[in-house]
Amino acid sequence: MSIESEIKLALPPDQVAAATEFFVTRTGKAGIHVQLTNDYFDTPALTLAKSKSALRLRKSPHGWLQTYKTVGSAEGGLHRRHEWEMPVAGERLDIDALVTACDDAASAEALREAAPALIKLFSTDFTRTLWHVVHGDTEIEAAIDQGEITAEVDGVTRRTPISEIELELKHGDEPALHALQAELAAKVPGLAPDNGSKAQRGYQLRER
- Is residue 98 a contact partner of residue 68, using CB atoms and an 8 Å limit? yes
Task: Check residue 190 and report its DSSP letter.
Answer: T
Check pLDDT > 80 for residue 79: no
The pLDDT tens digits of the residues spanning 4-63 come to 788 999 999 999 999 999 999 999 999 999 999 999 999 999 999 998 899 999 998 889
Strand partners, 126: 36, 147
Q: Give the whole-angstrom CA distance, residue 163 versus residue 60.
A: 19
Domains along the chain? 6-207 (2.40.320.10)
Q: What is the value of pTM for the model shown?
A: 0.90
- Is residue 8 a contact partner of residue 194, using CB atoms and an 8 Å limit? yes
Q: Give the whole-angstrom CA distance, residue 79 versus residue 4.
A: 8
The pLDDT tens digits of the residues spanning 183-200 come to 999 999 999 998 888 999
Check pLDDT > 70 for residue 177: yes
pLDDT for 76: 64
